[in-house]
């Protein structure tokens, strides 16, 4: 049985011309070799599997070649090239900084730089994953890197350039490697398949290239896996099965069904996907990428941004003709919100279902019916106005009754009762008129009972001094209408406390005393999304009750959740915290922490 070599090693490029996807970079290196203008240090940066170490080896081979070609490549026949090909060259040293990142390894490497090459022109030191070197190793390496011997060239390779010290970066020529394009990866896989005698489908190779995410080594590894599973005939369906990837047809079907508002069909499709073992979060992420591709396919100028095969590109363009831009944009926002909230959601399937329902309703006609899935805002507003008029009438009756009782000297109890009954009948009549004819003017809605005689404000418990002040119940009704009930963003207790403090800081100057007392309160989530605030005295509780509606509206807007309910209650005896003096705090620290007591006694400290 012959020794099997994986494709990533078997088809590793041996010359600059065979490097895939790095044309501009390899051209620059070849020109440097031809002109003889070689730097003493190079830094190759880029994602995994794009050819950094391969190009470093090719470059080291070329600069030591005794007879380089006219275009700046190695001859492959001289002694230096043969030694490199047979892996017995003493002029090329490779160090894996991930496992040799200490000062001792770097010092040993620096000792090798003093010995000139026996064959060839340069000693080349390739340090892979150089960002893994320790701080001390970097410092030890710095001086040699700045002024190395004339026969030494350093080639550093890394996937995380931002972790390398700026002093190292400033001493190197930096080359940034690009991610492999999908089409470039497909072309290279076709070449490998033809050499290996493996039949394939273009869609299958495109799927492998997309899965590789720009890394050629990853693409070749997936190709070997698919070839073993498919037994020499790589098909689209077998690759889907082998790699456990969700078929892109599901995304096309979901978008088509959403355009037709077919929510039940989408729910059945989702159930089929989940029953196959796929994660709902991956479905949302894949659908978002699909909608993004459809959006890019809307404009011929952005079609080139699609990383897909030609067949898939045509399908995206066909679906883009049917999708309004507003639908695609809003769908992306909804799915992005779902992706952000998915990890912290306790009912992930419900979150995915609600997201798909929202997407399916984007093109639905905007009506006021409850069955449409939207809140009937006009109907709710009308009910609020009716309730507001009733409550206002009731409050005025109560005030009038209190005012009459206070003036007992002016009449008997029977007269008081008659007066209150008269005011009740008058206000109820006025309330009915206001509800039945909301659009008419004040003159036409005035009831007949009020038309024949003058009504004093004092008899209703209202004066000109209090006329400009809003009733607390009316104020609560107005605040209630400003809350967006459809907002349902998740929030934590930490975010609640943060927004509570910000609200206290924004309160007006005339409420400074109240805001400072509110800062001592700690709101908690009692039954999500309901919020409970425990108050330690009746006076503060009454003050908070008067502005409860405003507090709730502020928290609902800041936290993005219109379903918040605010509960204020008086603290129980065991919940009231005893205020401690500074001396009490010190005594408690000394009692609980022996170190504090020892420090206090040894230094002879006293409480001032």
Q: Assign 562 to helix, strand or coil.
A: coil
Q: Domain residues of the chain, as ranges?
A: 7-176, 182-243, 248-366, 377-467, 483-572, 578-608
Q: Which helix (H) or strand (E) element contains residue 45?
A: strand 41-45
Q: Can you tell me the distance from the alpha carbon of 191 to that of 273, in angstroms, rounded to the nearest whole number?
A: 35
- Checking phi first, is residue 232 left (phi over 0); if not, alpha (psi -120 to 50) or beta? left
For the segment(s) 7-176, the CATH number from 3.40.50.300, 3.30.230.10, 1.20.59.20, 1.20.210.10 is: 3.40.50.300
Q: Assign 526 to helix, strand or coil.
A: strand
Residue 430 or residue 4, greater confidence? 4
Q: How confident is the model over 112-122, as a mean pLDDT? A: 81
Q: How confident is the model over 487-516, as a mean pLDDT? A: 88
pLDDT digits (tens, 9 = 90+) for 288-337: 999 999 999 888 888 878 877 777 888 888 999 989 999 999 999 999 99
Domain 7-176 and domain 182-243, same fold? Reply is no
pLDDT digits (tens, 9 = 90+) for 203-240: 888 888 888 888 888 889 998 888 888 888 888 888 88
Sign of CA dihedral 199, 203, 204, 205: positive
Q: How confident is the model at residue 116 (pLDDT cuts 50, 70, 90)?
A: confident
Q: How confident is the model at residue 245 (pLDDT cuts 50, 70, 90)?
A: confident
Q: How confident is the model at residue 257 (pLDDT cuts 50, 70, 90)?
A: very high
Q: Can you tell me the distance from the alpha carbon of 177 to that of 187, in angstroms, rounded to the nearest whole number?
A: 19
Q: How confident is the model at residue 515 (pLDDT cuts 50, 70, 90)?
A: confident
The CATH architecture assigned to 182-243 reads: Orthogonal Bundle (1.10)
Q: What is the pLDDT of residue 444?
A: 41
* pLDDT of residue 274 exceeding 60: yes
pLDDT digits (tens, 9 = 90+) for 128-166: 888 888 888 888 888 888 888 888 999 999 999 888 888
Report the topology of domain 248-366. Answer: Zinc Finger, Delta Prime; domain 3 (1.20.272)
Residue 163 or residue 376, greater confidence? 163
* pLDDT of residue 397 exceeding 80: no
pLDDT digits (tens, 9 = 90+) for 400-437: 445 444 444 444 444 444 444 444 444 454 444 444 44
Q: Assign 41 to helix, strand or coil.
A: strand
Q: What is the pLDDT of residue 228?
A: 87
Q: How confident is the model at residue 9 (pLDDT cuts 50, 70, 90)?
A: confident
Q: What is the pLDDT of residue 476?
A: 53
Q: What is the pLDDT of residue 457?
A: 45
pLDDT digits (tens, 9 = 90+) for 346-362: 898 999 999 999 999 98
Q: Can you tell me the distance from the alpha carbon of 65 to that of 78, in angstroms, rounded to the nearest whole number?
A: 7
* pTM score: 0.54
Report the topology of domain 483-572. Answer: GMP Synthetase; Chain A, domain 3 (3.30.300)
The residue written with tokens 């170190």 in the block is: 595
Q: Give Cα separations from 181 to 81, 216, 432 (angstroms).
A: 31, 9, 72
pLDDT digits (tens, 9 = 90+) for 558-599: 888 888 888 898 888 777 666 667 788 888 888 888 888 888
* pLDDT of residue 169 exceeding 60: yes
Q: How confident is the model over 111-140, as a mean pLDDT? A: 85
Q: How confident is the model at residue 486 (pLDDT cuts 50, 70, 90)?
A: confident
DSSP state of 437: -
Q: Quick check: bond before 8 cis, omega within 30?
A: no
Widest pairwise Cα distance in the chain: 127
Q: What is the dihedral of CA 201, 207, 211, 217, to 10 degrees?
A: 30
Mean pLDDT of the chain: 78
Q: How confident is the model over 103-126, as a mean pLDDT? A: 84
Q: How confident is the model at residue 76 (pLDDT cuts 50, 70, 90)?
A: confident
* pLDDT of residue 384 exceeding 80: no
């Amino acid at each position: 049985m012959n020794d099997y070599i994986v494709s990533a090693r078997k088809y590793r490029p041996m010359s600059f011309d065979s490097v895939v996807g790095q044309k501009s970079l390899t051209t620059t290196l070849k020109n440097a070799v031809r002109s003889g203008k070689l730097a003493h240090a190079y830094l190759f940066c880029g994602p995994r599997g794009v050819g950094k170490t391969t190009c470093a080896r090719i470059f080291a081979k070329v600069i030591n070649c005794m007879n380089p070609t006219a275009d700046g490549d190695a001859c492959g026949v001289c002694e230096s090239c043969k030694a490199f090909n047979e892996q017995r060259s003493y002029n090329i040293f490779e160090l894996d900084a991930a496992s040799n990142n200490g000062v001792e390894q770097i010092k040993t490497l620096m000792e090798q730089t003093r010995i000139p090459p026996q064959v060839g022109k340069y000693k080349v030191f390739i340090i892979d994953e150089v960002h893994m070197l320790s701080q001390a190793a970097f410092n030890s390496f710095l001086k040699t890197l700045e002024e190395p011997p004339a026969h030494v060239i350093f080639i550093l390779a890394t996937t995380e350039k931002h972790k390398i010290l700026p002093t190292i970066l400033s001493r190197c020529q930096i080359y940034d490697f690009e991610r492999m394009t999908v089409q470039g990866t497909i072309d290279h896989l076709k070449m490998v398949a033809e050499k290996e005698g493996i039949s394939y489908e273009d869609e299958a190779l495109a799927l492998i290239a997309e899965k590789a995410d720009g890394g050629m080594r990853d693409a070749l590894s997936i190709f070997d896996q698919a070839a073993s599973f498919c037994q020499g005939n790589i098909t689209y369906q077998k690759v889907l099965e082998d790699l456990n990837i969700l078929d892109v047809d599901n995304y096309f079907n979901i978008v088509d069904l959403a355009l037709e508002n077919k929510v039940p069909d989408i729910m059945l499709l989702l159930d089929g996907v989940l029953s196959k073992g796929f994660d709902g979060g991956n479905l949302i992420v894949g659908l978002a990428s699909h909608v993004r591709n459809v959006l890019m396919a809307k404009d011929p100028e952005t079609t080139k941004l699609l990383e897909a095969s030609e067949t898939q590109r045509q399908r995206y363009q066909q679906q883009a003709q049917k999708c309004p831009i507003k639908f695609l944009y809003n769908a992306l926002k909804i799915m992005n919100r779902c992706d952000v909230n998915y990890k912290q959601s306790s009912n992930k399937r419900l979150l995915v279902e609600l997201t798909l329902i929202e997407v399916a309703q984007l093109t639905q006609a905007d009506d006021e019916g409850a069955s449409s899935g939207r809140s009937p805002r006009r109907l709710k507003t009308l009910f609020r106005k009716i309730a507001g008029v009733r409550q206002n009438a009731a409050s005025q009756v109560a005030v009038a009754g209190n005012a009459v009782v206070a003036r007992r000297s002016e009449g008997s109890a029977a007269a008081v009762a008659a007066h209150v009954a008269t005011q009740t009948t008058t206000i109820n009549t006025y309330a009915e008129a206001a509800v039945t004819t909301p659009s008419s003017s004040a003159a036409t809605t005035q009831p007949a009972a009020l038309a024949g005689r003058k009504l004093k404000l004092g008899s209703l418990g209202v004066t000109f001094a209090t006329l400009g002040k809003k009733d607390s119940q009316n104020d609560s009704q107005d605040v209630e209408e400003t809350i967006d009930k459809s907002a349902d963003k998740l929030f934590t207790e930490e975010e609640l406390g943060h927004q509570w403090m910000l609200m206290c800081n924004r309160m007006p100057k005339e409420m400074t005393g109240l805001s400072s007392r509110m800062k001592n309160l700690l709101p908690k989530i009692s039954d999500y999304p309901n919020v409970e605030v425990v108050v330690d005295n009746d006076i503060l509780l009454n003050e908070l009750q008067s502005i409860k509606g405003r507090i709730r509206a502020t928290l609902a807007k800041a936290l993005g959740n219109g379903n918040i309910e605010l509960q204020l209650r008086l603290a129980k005896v065991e919940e009231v915290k005893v205020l401690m003096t500074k001396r009490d705090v010190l005594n408690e620290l000394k009692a609980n922490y022996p170190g504090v007591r020892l420090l206090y006694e040894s230094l002879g400290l006293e409480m001032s």
